[in-house]
Structure 1
Amino acid sequence: MSRSLVVDEPGRSRLLVDDAPVPGPGEALVRVAAAGLCGSDRELFDGARPPGFCAYPIVPGHEWSGTVAAVGPEVDASLIGARVVGEGFRGCMVCGPCRNGAPNLCAAGYDETGFTRPGAFADHLVVPARLLHVLAPDADLRAAALLEPAAVIAAAVRHAALRPGETAAVVGAGTLGLLAVQLLSASSPSALAAVDPRAERGGPALSAGATVFYRPGEAAEESYDVVLETAGAPGTARAAVALARRGGRVVVTGIPGDPSDAVPTALLVTRALTVHTVFGAGPADWAYAVRAFDAGVLRPADLITHELPLADFEKALRLSASPGAGKVLLRPDLDR
């Protein structure tokens, strides 16, 4: 038997008990160890996802880790027993973006585990085996559940191309921001600032590798070679641009809830900035994040504050939005 947490429609969830799914050709069955919650899961439950970026009913859960329990035809049986994480985007693999290594931008349309395909808030998950990344045999699967947001940040860090001795700032000190600080600190910046309105985020940011922590407005006189925006709050993209030196590089990962939020074109042009944006992560970004995790450069376990059983999904959602929460995990093994 296998349980899965189903969101039938916005605001309504239930725990379904059924037979364990069976992997088909090219697929693997993963026994889920841990799955993280993020703001997009709250959007899904609240009915706030943009049209075309979700489908109901749905089993959420796009941040996950687990162990391969079975494989379907055409999949190497040696995968069974491996500790794994997996990419979420189900690209068509024939369009231009997919062939260029960006299935997250697939021309056939958006299709992602946990939003349009059954996700990992369940005992078991079936995914195409080609999307799996195998971890070290002794990998901490609790920490590995954060490799999906880490892959998104890896995409941002790769765009930023921080060189040793340059300066960097990260706007937002939530999960994405702290992962960004960890990765950027590995490039030996001469200064690495974290900016967040919550004073309590200062300690975690400094522990992650920041050299200084600011509240918004406190760094108004500073400028940086590289600025990463990770908060997705109104005004944070503009704040990131304002922190960049002339000729600097800015990478924006967040989507603010206020559609009127904007960055002045004059600020972009007069500073001659290079601006990148990130939507999800491609295979190369995942490989980067997994290597950094295996090497100990990424320390996701430091960000976990709560672990709850699968049946406590709605409680976990509320916790994930609370001011003192870091990463909240659902652990199916806690109530099996």
Structure 2
Amino acid sequence: MSTLSRSVVVDRPGGHRLVQGPCPTPGPGEVRVRVEAAGICMSDRELYDGHRDAAYVRYPVVPGHEWSGTVEAVGEGVDPALAGRRTVAEGFRFCGACERCRYGETSLCTAGYDETGFTRSGAFADHVVVPARLLHPLPDEADPRAAALLEPAAVTAAAVRAGAPEPGERIAVLGAGTLGLLAVQLLAALSPTELTVIDPRSERASLALDFGASEARTPQEAEEVRGRYDLVVETAGAPSTAAEACLLARRGGRVVLTGMFTPGAVGIDPVHLSLSQLTVRSVFGASSAAWSYAVRAFTAGLLDPAPLITHEFPLERFGDAMALVGAGGPGTGKVLLRP
């Protein structure tokens, strides 16, 4: 067991360094996890570029909220049997005591925002320390690369649970990025009569069909099927996709907004919303229940994120990995750091 640990520290927007220091010691109720794989997403890019809302980041910080690893040490009061277990962990450091937490809506904790990789040291490191109560242990044979994507899968699971799909329904997924393609896998397992993916990128549409979609359409082709779908899951976060998702839903249909929208996004027409009697939900992060949903689907073989991974880098090449994320290259899918 190493006595030293490396980590990528972002001191300020646009500036990072690879540091080495003593291996972190877990405190009471905590575990130290040896990181095996950590995913980079657009939220990490926003953190690095300084575009993340100041209320949702605290510099200097070690990023990394999508990860998997193996428990290496446990703190006081933690079951010693966890040592050696492959695991993932929830990112939100919810209080567990407020009204929303006690109701089970841990992603709506009223104690204030606090998340691994944004306000607490994350997994772009050899080790990460987290509360043991946040762990979701995995089978020993679980692929650590694929498991690193269980964080976005949990967000997708939150969207699926919010949309309450039923067998035989017509469902559309708007956006074929990581969230969209994970949504396709989870929704395909629920036997929709139609599962349409909408994205302008032909290579992403092809992957969606492999993941279980029944058809793929470009945004222009999707105009022909407006008003058709019982459920629309929006995952793109593009300026027009919230409004478009509502146009795709049938009267009385359901819409779940999952993408992270930026200022200037086109608003939803309140007249259309009212006359169509739509139910619109939004998702930010994932509750403990959504995490359990995603982990169960992964363990059962209903969810396989591995085909989304296209690039892997060591910690020393964090800058190269970050430059690749968000560059828009057609051959770039999920980028991992492998400490």
Q: Report how far residue 255 of structure 1 moved.
A: 2.2
State the SS of the aligned residue for 1:91: coil
How many residue pairs get aligned? The number is 332
Q: Please, which runs of 5 or more residues in structure 2 have no aligned partner? A: none
Counterparts of 1:120 and 1:190, CA distance in 2: 40
User: Where does residue 157 of structure 1 map in the other structure?
Assistant: 160
User: Where does residue 271 of structure 1 map in the other structure?
Assistant: 276
Residue of structure 1 aligned with 2:253, choices 248, 256, 261: 248
Letter paired with 2:177: G
Residue of structure 1 aligned with 2:335, choices 292, 312, 328: 328
Letter paired with 1:242: L
Answering whether residue 174 of structure 2 is matched by residue 168 of structure 1, we say: no
State the SS of the aligned residue for 1:315: helix
Answering whether residue 127 of structure 2 is matched by residue 124 of structure 1, we say: yes
User: Where does residue 182 of structure 1 map in the other structure?
Assistant: 185
Counterparts of 1:261 and 1:146, CA distance in 2: 29
Q: Report how far residue 221 of structure 1 moved.
A: 2.5
User: Where does residue 282 of structure 1 map in the other structure?
Assistant: 287
State the SS of the aligned residue for 1:290: helix
Q: Report how far residue 260 of structure 1 moved.
A: 4.5
User: Where does residue 261 of structure 1 map in the other structure?
Assistant: 266
Deviates more, 1:241-250 or 1:258-267: 258-267
User: Where does residue 316 of structure 1 map in the other structure?
Assistant: 321
Question: What CA deviation, in whole Å up to 9, does each residue of 1:106-141 have, x standing for no partner?
Answer: 111100000000000000000000000000111001
User: Where does residue 298 of structure 1 map in the other structure?
Assistant: 303
Counterparts of 1:87 and 1:292, CA distance in 2: 16
Counterparts of 1:257 and 1:306, CA distance in 2: 27
Counterparts of 1:126 and 1:102, CA distance in 2: 24
Residue of structure 2 aligned with 1:35, choices 10, 27, 38: 38
Letter paired with 2:71: V
Counterparts of 1:316 and 1:23, CA distance in 2: 29
Counterparts of 1:254 and 1:115, CA distance in 2: 18
Question: What CA deviation, in whole Å up to 9, does each residue of 1:122-165 have, x standing for no partner?
Answer: 00000000000000111001100000000000000011111111
Deviates more, 1:218-227 or 1:140-149: 218-227
Question: What CA deviation, in whole Å up to 9, does each residue of 1:164-212 have, x standing for no partner?
Answer: 1111000000000000000000011011000011122111110111110
User: Where does residue 23 of structure 1 map in the other structure?
Assistant: 26
TM-score, reference length from structure 2: 0.96
State the SS of the aligned residue for 2:38: strand
Counterparts of 1:140 and 1:172, CA distance in 2: 26
Answering whether residue 211 of structure 2 is matched by residue 208 of structure 1, we say: yes
Q: Report how far residue 257 of structure 1 moved.
A: 2.1
Answering whether residue 82 of structure 2 is matched by residue 79 of structure 1, we say: yes
Letter paired with 1:254: G
Counterparts of 1:29 and 1:120, CA distance in 2: 11
Answering whether residue 60 of structure 2 is matched by residue 53 of structure 1, we say: no
Answering whether residue 15 of structure 2 is matched by residue 12 of structure 1, we say: yes
Q: Which runs of 4+ in 1 moved over 3 A?
A: none
Q: Where do residues 101-140 of structure 1 align in structure 2 (5 Å cutoff)? A: 101-140=104-143
Q: Please, which runs of 5 or more residues in structure 1 have no aligned partner? A: none
Q: Report how far residue 262 of structure 1 moved.
A: 0.9
State the SS of the aligned residue for 2:219: coil
- RMSD of aligned residue pairs (Cα, Å): 0.9
Letter paired with 1:19: P
Q: Report how far residue 258 of structure 1 moved.
A: 3.3
Counterparts of 1:134 and 1:255, CA distance in 2: 28
Q: Report how far residue 314 of structure 1 moved.
A: 1.7
Letter paired with 1:297: L
User: Where does residue 192 of structure 1 map in the other structure?
Assistant: 195
